[in-house]
Amino acid sequence: MGTFLLRRLMRSAVLIVVVTFLTYFLVSLTPGDAAYTLLGARATPEQLQALRHDMELDQPLVEQYWRWLSSALHGDFGRSLLTQQSTSEVLSQRLEPTVSLLAGTVLVSVALGCLFGVLAAVRGGWLGRLVDLVGQMGLAVPNFVLGLILIAVFAVNMRLFPVSGYIAFAEDPGLWIRSLVLPVCGLAFGVIGVMARQLKVSMEEVMQREFITAMRANGYPQRSIIYRHALRNAGLPVVANLGVIVVGMLSGSVLMESVFALPGLGSLLVQASAQADLPLVEGVVVVMTVIIVAVNIGVDLISAWLDPRVVRP
Amino acid sequence: MSAEILSSTPDPDSAAGQRPKFLSKERARRGPYRPATLLAGAWLILITVAAGAAPLLAGHDPLTQDLAQVQVGPGGEHLLGTDSLGRDLLARLLHGSRTTLLGVAVGVGVSVSIGVPLGLYAGYLRGRVDKVASAVAEILMSLPGLIILITVLAVYPYSMIAAMVTFGVLSSAALFRIVRNVTMAVAQDLYITAAKLAGLSRRQILLRHILPRIRPTVVAQTAIVAALALVTQLGLGFLGIDTRPPHATWGGVLQDASTVIAVSSWTVVPPVVVVTLTILAFGILGDTTTSQPYRLTRARTRTGRPQAPRTTRRAPADQLLCVEHLTVVLTRGGGGSILVDDVSFGIGRGEIVGLVGESGAGKSVTSRAILGLQPTQAKVDGFIDFDGLNLLDLTDKELHHLRGRRIALVGQEPMVSLDPTIRIGAQLAEAVRAHQKVGRKESHRLARQLLTDVRISDPSAVADRYPHEISGGMAQRVCIAVALAGNPELLIADEPTTALDVTVQAEILDLLRDLQRERNMAVLLVTHDWGVVADLCDRAIVLYAGQIVEQAATERLFDHSCHPYTAALRAADPHQQQPGRRLTTIGGSVPPPGSWPPGCRFADRCVSVTEECSNAAVPLHLVAEGHITRCIHVRADDKEAHRVP
């Protein structure tokens, strides 16, 4: 178990370094650099040169990156070019809506995805076809389009939920949930379809395996065969895919935050990139990567718990 | 908005070397001709043509604003109405499709030209190339796509091409992984080895032999990448960062419609419909998962018996199991052919009966039909009397009550007959609890006792292990322990030693014999090994092409076998071979179900075949007390041939 975790942590560290360096590299390609952004088009070349020297932008790229990385490891992500606010401060303000949205979506989609997947596999028939259909429709309707439809129906017409905006949990837990219902539904819909369909296919495959026949032949309780043995084995590929699903969800959350005007990391990214506020962009990318890494480690732990062959090969 | 659908395709790695369904020839043939596929293809061609001819078709300029006519409904001068700035919606959609589809094409092009060649190369050559490429792919796949694209667009503002090239690079990872896995599966095929031995160059093998085989998968996955590219483009357009504002894209049209959704909901309809249909079309082209619903609660046909000979006679008292006129037919969905044809036999209490024959003779189907575990698409007819109960009349629930408790099964491959995720002790204890009303702790104690019963010397240690941590022989002992948990009266052992090492085989057979004696169990032993029959069985039944061809007590069968098939099978027994001589074999192979000849089914391979053999179906004859055979050349001891009822 120890070496297994260590290997996974190493992989995560590599991922973070690769992503941040790529972003840094991309940013360094920008025609106008940070100094240009700060001083504007009317600055003289001397002024630009001076500021570049102050900001150490004239140093080699790897060196700049190294300096950024070592201060980032100390929690210092630099300052916003425009507002001069500390990046980590801005990030921490923006973290809650995004994490709430993601956590809510993961919870809802895992619960409903498993439920529908199992029901579809066991009962088949119309439910099975429905799961197939939703699995496909959920992807055919991009989640931000679904978000728009949800707003039109449930917020504008029926006035059940707020049209947009976010209420912090500390402010009012009830309103916090209400402000999250529609974005979570919009983001979870497609994922539920994908997960249910995947679990259904996987269940159907597992139910044909020899050990299931052996268990049925030897009188194991039907309920235990389906919900203990088949589900556990069928869940393995679904859990393994959870990491990729959450990565997709993160992309979806950027659009969802834009649709519902949630002040999260996604909308910060869109805004910062429009203003070429690169320290902020870099900060958001780091936080998102850390979220992905955390989810992947969680997924690895669940896989290890479900399947002994992962840790005891 | 991600690669999540890509991975819903079966992964050959996880299926433990099994051929993935989507590789089967049937899929490849059927796929492109589904009506849904044709419709999807037609739609994609339609919008591509429309995009090409946009200036001719549109009728309006996509950028001309008419603030006097904002958000007008469909019909009249503007066929689909106008947007929030009074621009013609149809014109904007048509012109928008040029940019959007170009973006999709760029994304897909980059993705395919990186992912497919690399995947082919890595999957075929493996080694270091594969290791490095797979590691890179894994990192790329855990990158948040849209976030990277937004960053790219921050560096190159409004450069849709740059964004889609980046998309192509990112999504090539998923494509790479799938192509690699499929190539790996195909490359293991014998004919690829043959092609290598024939001296074909690597290039020829890859392009002429592997690529055509994996083409359906590549096409399907490319369609999915296209769907992803489109969704990603729409997202960027919706955020308003893909192209400079007045220029139309589908995402931009959607975004514009969304700003006025509360006022006029019509504006959002045309773009949503177009976008949804297009993504759906790509999705249909990419859908390779075949779904065969597995019915757990299957309606059992209560009309058990065939029409003609209603032999509802009670089985003799010493008979535990009495199978009569058992016929298993695949339903039309499953091919409609007969697997088991009018098979009748009995097993006495404490008797060991062998069911012998080549692969495909119907041994396993026969033995599993007794437990009600025939293939899902099969229909079972006949009469199976088990201690006074007609098993074919029982519901699944009633049968369930019998399974394990009165009739149990030991399967052919012990390594896949146990749940790989659960400790052996826990699995065995669960079997104990299924049959006896005992607590958790007691069930674990009984489980260890069962492990001792099957001669496992350190039961506690084995109970703590997982199935993949023990040897095949040990696993088969565990499987036998599972089957014994309910103290069954009849044990069906379906080739219990076939998958094991020769040295282990003897141990397992000894164990089975000892257990049978200790518990006075009846055993139905399915095998193709005459050594096993001689060793263990009181009586043996020889099955060929779904029919019984001979049945007799073991000794009699070894001394006076009548049917040429039995003789040929005995001659082909590897234990009977002499060193230095060629192995005796039976020429040809068992005709598959559905292609059985009307006369004797063995005629084609028989050494003593005559013309009459193929004339009519051959009935079973009684040759001597307890000895029946199905050959017209064999006459009964008492001169007169008896037809067995």
Whether residue B122 sits in one domain with residue B228:
yes
What is the pLDDT, as a whole number, of residue B221? 87
B612 phi and psi, to 5 degrees? -60, -25
Q: Which CATH number does the domain housing residue B372 bear?
A: 3.40.50.300
Of how many residues is chain B composed?
645
B541 phi and psi, to 5 degrees? -120, 125
End-of-domain residue from the set B516, B542, B565 = B565
Domain count, chain B: 2
Least confident of A58-67, B322-331, B453-462, B538-547: A58-67
Whether residue B192 sits in one domain with residue B337:
no
What distance lies between CA B333 and its chain's CA centroid? 16
Q: Where are the alpha helices (DSSP H) in B239-292?
A: 250-259, 269-286
pLDDT tens per residue, range B68-89:
777 777 777 777 777 777 788 8
Q: Which CATH number does the domain housing residue B174 bear?
A: 1.10.3720.10
For residue B543, what are the β-bridge partners? B548
Question: Which of A220, A267, A297 to mutate to test binding with chain B, by most B CBs within 10 Å of its CB?
Answer: A220
- List Cβ neighbours of A45 (8 Å cut-off, separation of 6 or more): none
Contact B486, B455 (CB under 8 A): no
B631 part of a folded domain: no
B628 part of a folded domain: no
Contact A281, A23 (CB under 8 A): yes
Least confident of A31-40, B408-417, B550-559: A31-40
B476 part of a folded domain: no
What is the pLDDT, as a whole number, of residue B635? 66
Contact B523, B493 (CB under 8 A): yes
pLDDT tens per residue, range A210-263:
999 999 999 999 899 999 999 999 999 899 888 888 888 998 999 999 889 999
Cα gap B499→A260, rounded to integer Å? 60
End-of-domain residue from the set B289, B308, B338 = B289
B512 part of a folded domain: yes
How far is A177 from chain B, CA to nearest CA, in Å? 23
Contact B321, B370 (CB under 8 A): yes
Mean pLDDT of B190-218: 84
Whether residue B270 sits in one domain with residue B332:
no
B82 part of a folded domain: yes
Chain B residues with CB under 8 Å of A243 CB are 142
Does A277 score more than 60 pLDDT?
Answer: yes
How far is B419 from chain A, CA to nearest CA, in Å? 6
Mean pLDDT of B29-44: 74
Chain A residues with CB under 8 Å of B279 CB are 139-142
What is the pLDDT, as a whole number, of residue A253? 92
B330 part of a folded domain: yes
Opening angle at CA A232, ends A231 and A238, nearest 5: 85
pLDDT tens per residue, range B104-163:
999 999 999 999 999 999 988 888 989 999 888 988 887 888 888 988 888 788 889 999
Whether residue B400 sits in one domain with residue B283:
no
Does B624 score more than 90 pLDDT?
Answer: no
What is the pLDDT, as a whole number, of residue A33? 62
DSSP string covering B495-556, please? Answer: STTTTS-HHHHHHHHHHHHHHHHHHT-EEEEEES-HHHHHHH-SEEEEEETTEEEEEEEHHH
Place of tokens 């895919």: A241
- List Cβ neighbours of B239 (8 Å cut-off, separation of 6 or more): A254, A255, A258, A270, B150, B251, B255
Of how many residues is chain A composed?
313
B33 part of a folded domain: yes
Strand runs (DSSP E) across B481-545, as ranges?
A: 490-494, 522-527, 539-544
Amino acid at B189: D
Residue B201, Cβ neighbours under 10 Å: how many?
11
What is the pLDDT, as a whole number, of residue B105? 95
Cα gap A298→A102, rounded to integer Å? 14
For residue B353, what are the β-bridge partners? B524, B539
Q: Is B271 or B313 the better-scoring residue by pLDDT?
A: B271
Question: What's the domain range around B151?
Answer: 28-289
Whether residue B495 sits in one domain with residue B371:
yes
Does B295 score more than 70 pLDDT?
Answer: no
What is the pLDDT, as a whole number, of residue B2? 42
pLDDT tens per residue, range B296-347:
434 333 333 333 333 444 556 678 999 999 999 887 666 678 888 889 999 9
Mean pLDDT of B508-537: 91
Tokens standing for B473? 């022989």
B278 part of a folded domain: yes
- List Cβ neighbours of B379 (8 Å cut-off, separation of 6 or more): B301, B328, B329, B330, B331
Amino acid at A198: Q
Whether residue B133 sits in one domain with residue B34:
yes
Mean pLDDT of A269-277: 82
ipTM over 0.85: no
Whether residue B337 sits in one domain with residue B264:
no
Task: Say yes or no for a CB contact (<8 Å) between A15 and B139.
Answer: yes
Whether residue B270 sits in one domain with residue B401:
no
Whether residue B324 sits in one domain with residue B180:
no
Task: Say yes or no for a CB contact (<8 Å) between B150 and A148.
Answer: no
Does B640 score more than 90 pLDDT?
Answer: no
Whether residue B352 sits in one domain with residue B209:
no
Whether residue B248 sits in one domain with residue B326:
no
pLDDT tens per residue, range B340-363:
888 999 999 999 999 998 887 888
Question: Number of Cβ pairs closer than 8 Å across A and B?
Answer: 272
Chain B residues with CB under 8 Å of A270 CB are 150, 239, 241
Question: Helix A125-140 and helix B211-238: axis angle, to 10°?
Answer: 60
Whether residue B172 sits in one domain with residue B109:
yes
Task: Say yes or no for a CB contact (<8 Å) between A220 and B284.
Answer: no
By Cβ distance, the residue of A215, A251, A296 closest to B147 is A251
End-of-domain residue from the set B565, B597, B628 = B565
Question: Helix B440-453 and helix B472-484: axis angle, to 10°?
Answer: 120
